[in-house]
């Protein structure tokens, strides 16, 4: 049985990536994919419990990072790897790129430590394709304010999200064959058209 496909959606809070996940899931299913839709932090019973701590409890950057990778380890073992092994397409809202962007870029956490943890938790496992929804942090902040009550990440200031955006840009520069940058400004339909065009080019 052929190995499945691992696709991730990334971007700062308010960039709109989550608005397109369900549409993209249907796009994949219409083309014959067996899709597992999941998210990080989360995606397994244990990881979802850790998600609540990560998003809502105060903690320092090291504790936050260790919890994120602990959640990811269980998510991989419980959900991602079994799905890929049976040939499914895993569509995940965030993965390790988000840790390098948020904890590495936003928090200023040691990138060498992040790389070590990445190697411990998922050696050799990277997404096959990553859609990075890139948006000016000021525009993203306006969208967040209109959408929901903020968690402790979403309450961060513009400078934090500028650093997160730079963290994503650095990851994209390191893996240009894997990343597809989606300009996330404009109406929902226009952004989806960019996603669909890129997906058609990459996936057929």
The 10s digit of each residue's pLDDT in 123-161 is 999 999 999 999 999 888 787 776 666 668 777 788 999
pLDDT of residue 145: 72
Encoded tokens for 153? 């990440």
The 3-state DSSP class for residue 37 equals strand
Report if pTM > 0.85. Answer: yes
Query: Could you say which DSSP state residue 161 is in?
Result: H
Q: What is the pLDDT of residues 21-77, one digit of tens each?
A: 999 999 999 999 999 999 999 999 999 999 999 999 999 999 999 999 999 999 999
Domains of the chain in sequence order: 5-203 (3.40.50.300)
Q: Please report which helix (H) or strand (E) contains residue 70, including its range.
A: helix 61-75
Q: Residues near 143 by Cβ (< 8 Å), separated by ≥ 6? A: 14, 16
* Dihedral (CA of 159, 161, 163, 166) sign: negative
pLDDT of residue 43: 98
Report the chain's mean pLDDT, rounded to a whole number. 94
DSSP states of 162-201: HHHHHHHHHHHHH-TTTEEEEE--S-HHHHHHHHHHHHHH
CA distance to 61, 106, 139, per residue, from 124 (Å): 25, 25, 35
- CA 56/CA 169 separation, integer angstroms: 27
Mean pLDDT, rounded, for 168-183 = 98
Instruction: List, in sequence order, every residue forming a beta bridge with 53; answer none if it has no partner.
Output: none
CB atoms within 10 A of CB 32: 7
- CA 48/CA 52 separation, integer angstroms: 7
* Dihedral (CA of 68, 174, 79, 77) sign: negative
pLDDT band at 1 (very low <50, low <70, confident <90, very high): low
């Amino acid at each position: 049985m052929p190995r499945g496909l691992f696709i991730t959606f990334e971007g700062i809070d308010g960039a709109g990536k989550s608005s397109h996940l369900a549409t993209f899931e249907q796009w994949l299913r219409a083309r014959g994919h067996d899709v597992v839709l999941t998210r990080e932090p989360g995606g397994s019973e244990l990881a979802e419990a850790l998600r609540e701590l990560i998003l809502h409890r105060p903690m320092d950057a090291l504790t936050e990072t260790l919890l994120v990778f602990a959640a990811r380890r269980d998510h991989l073992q419980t959900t991602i790897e079994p799905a890929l092994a049976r040939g499914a397409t895993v569509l995940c809202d965030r993965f390790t790129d988000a840790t390098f962007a948020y904890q590495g870029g936003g928090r200023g956490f040691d990138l060498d430590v992040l790389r070590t943890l990445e190697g411990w938790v998922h050696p050799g496992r990277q997404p096959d394709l990553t859609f990075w929804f890139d948006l000016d942090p000021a525009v993203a902040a306006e969208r967040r304010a209109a959408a929901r009550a903020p968690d402790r990440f979403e309450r961060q200031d513009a400078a934090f999200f500028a650093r997160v955006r730079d963290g994503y840009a650095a990851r994209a520069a390191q893996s240009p064959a894997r990343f597809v940058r989606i300009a996330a400004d404009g109406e929902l339909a226009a952004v989806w058209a960019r996603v669909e065009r890129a997906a058609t080019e990459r996936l057929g």
